[in-house]
Amino acid sequence: MTTHLLKLVAVIIAVCIPGLAFGEDKTVPKTQIREAYFTINLPKGWIGGPGSDSTLWQYASPKQNEQLSVSIHISKTPISKQERPKILNDFLAMRLKSETDQAKSKSLTISEPTKEEKGNAWVARYSGVHPEARRRFANFTVVNPKLIANFYYEALDMTEEEFEKNRKQILTGVGVAE
């Protein structure tokens, strides 16, 4: 995944708008992304957009040490209420296997995924750290009647505190089409 940071197209596809307030009335601008199937607010200066695969979007921070990969898989038929938790579990199993296979390391730590039903969707979150690669990551997945959406945020050489602040700003502002 980290090799994708070097492959991003340097085209700004969003506009900067006033953002979240932190502490003593300090406003941090953000970049608002609006795509057909999702919306997200990224910190100021992030660049990127659709990838070579029609199901993938990639965004990177100005320093190129952070990346958000978004994958959207549209269902040809509505995903039933009963199928959603099973699809979520299967998708998470695939993601977690990919994490461990890619890292090839015993020092990789991944949290137990949290899963819950929210309205019409099932959502899951997990995060982790790979100390050898100096990499932190967080994953947010949504399965609703229309699609499976996955938001994967990762950062290199970042403190836990800084990572958590950015993770919250990025992944709590996700919107997905129903």
pLDDT of residue 97: 94
Has residue 4 got a pLDDT over 80?
Answer: no
Rounded CA gap, 31 and 37, in Å? Answer: 17
Q: What is the pLDDT of residue 3?
A: 29
Answer yes or no: is pLDDT of 6 > 70: no
Please report which residue ranges of 3-82 form alpha helices under DSSP H: none
Q: What's the CATH code, domain 2-156?
A: 3.40.1000.10
Predicted confidence at residue 17, as pLDDT, reads 21
Cα distance between residue 157 and residue 73, in whole Å = 31
- Reported as a single tens digit per residue, the pLDDT across 90-119 is 999 999 999 988 888 888 999 999 999 999
pTM for this model (two decimals): 0.81
Per the prediction, the chain carries an average pLDDT of 83
Res 16: pLDDT: 23
- Contact between residue 88 and residue 143 where contact means Cβ atoms under 8 Å apart: yes
Q: Would the pLDDT of 149 be above 90?
A: yes
**Has residue 18 got a pLDDT over 60?**
no
In the predicted structure, residue 12 carries a pLDDT above the cut 50:
no
pLDDT of residue 60: 95
Q: How far apart are CA 14 and CA 70, in angstroms?
A: 16
Domain residue ranges of the chain, discontinuous segments joined by +:
2-156
Task: Give Rg (Cα) of the chain.
Answer: 16
Average pLDDT over residues 35-44: 91
Q: Considering only 12-21, 24-33, 71-80, 87-96, which range has the smallest mean pLDDT?
A: 12-21
Residue 50 DSSP one-character state: E
DSSP state of 162: H
pLDDT at 102: 85
Spatial separation of the C-alpha atoms in residues 138 and 140, rounded to whole Å: 7
Residue 23 clears pLDDT 60, i.e. is over it: no
The answer on pLDDT for 21 being more than 90 is no
- Phi then psi for 35, rounded to 5 degrees? -110, 175
Distance between CA 108 and CA 137 in Å, rounded? 11
CB atoms within 10 A of CB 151: 22
More confident residue, 132 or 96: 96
